[in-house]
Amino acid sequence: MIILRNSEELKTWIERHRSSGKTIGFVPTMGALHEGHISLVRQSKLENDVTIVSVFVNPTQFNNPEDLKKYPRTEEADGQLLEQAGVEVVFFPTVETIYPEGQKSTHFNFQGIENQMEGKFRPGHFDGVATVVQKFFEIVQPDRAYFGEKDFQQLRIIQELVKQKRLPLQIVPVAIMRESDGLAMSSRNTRLSQDMRKEAPNIYQILQKAKVFLEDHSVEETKEFVSEAFSKTKLKLEYFEIADESTLESVSTNSDSRKIRGFIAVFADDIRLIDNISLN
């Protein structure tokens, strides 16, 4: 595995491999890697000749400066995990490499997807995500790029970005990886106190119960059920929404044929965790 920090060197490496007919799989990450990221790498390795992983904590997608400051950074361990996983190149750019003209996001319009849920609670977040991902796509020009379904709204935003900009690459969604107690894997889990780590599996347990509850209750009743269930835990519910998988607009009934999902954000002390579940 080679480690590159400079985008010109990366472009040269990619050009050499592309001109010999190799396909390129790309996994963008913010580091603090875990099995969830490695599942994206595994998928990429199955489908491409070479896999490139970027590790970059993108400042423009953090609406909360404290969150950016506390975001775990574990470069050495990340490098080791990626080497074991058989990645060909890891790209560790600096902020100046990615934002030579200052840390600014482009403003995007994704037909309203960007304004729902995470977009509402984290203003500017998706502009930051789409800005950095577009920059990475320009540098790497992958054949396929891999995104986890844990950040389902992010995945939809990236699919729209690719459609809007007519980028010649395939976005591959990868299912959520969970700990044995059901907690969705996340870099933020490492920051949970022992007490909150015990509470956190409630998120997926309540989502599963909500799925069953919705079978013979209304959307409104299911939301109340979820809110009440969280009031009995130490977690603080920020939102629970039942939304159309494609538009991410909230639905008020579960009676039609569209695909819907339950989306949730909670606080475990000051650590914000998200998760989602398919509901039909």
Q: Which of 17, 37, 125, 217 is catalytic?
A: 37
User: What does residue 60 show for φ and ψ, rounded to 5 degrees?
Assistant: -75, -10
Is 34 annotated in the active site? no
The Cα 91–Cα 143 span in angstroms is: 17
Compute the least distance from the CB of residue 258 to ligand PAF, in Å: 26
Query: How many Å separate Cα 60 from the centre of its chain?
Result: 15
Please pick, from the candidates 4, 10, 30, 279, the single residue that binds ligand PAF as defined by CB under 6 A. Answer: 30
Q: What count of other Cβ atoms lies within 10 Å of the Cβ of residue 186? A: 24
Sorted by sequence, the CB contacts under 8 Å of residue 58 that are 6+ apart come out as: 30, 98, 128, 129, 132
Residue 133 interacts with ligand PAF (CB under 6 A)?
yes
Residue in 29, 105, 189, 276 binding ligand PAF, rule: CB under 6 A: 29
Of residues 117, 102, 152, the one with CA closest to residue 237: 117
Q: Does 161 bind ligand PAF (CB under 6 A)?
A: no
How many angstroms separate the Cα of 82 from the Cα of each of 137, 169, 260?
A: 20, 23, 34
Could you say whether residue 28 binds ligand PAF (CB under 6 A)?
yes
Binding map of ligand PAF across residues 85-124, x = CB under 6 A, - = no contact: ----------------------------------------
Which range of residues in 16-24, 25-33, 113-121, 230-238 is near ligand PAF by CB under 6 A? 25-33
Nearer to ligand PAF, 171 or 214 (CB): 171
What DSSP letter does each residue of 228-249 carry, written as one string?
Answer: HHHHTSS-EEEEEEEEETTT--
Please list the active-site residues: 37
- Residues binding ligand PAF (CB under 6 A): 28-30, 58, 61, 129, 132-133, 151, 154
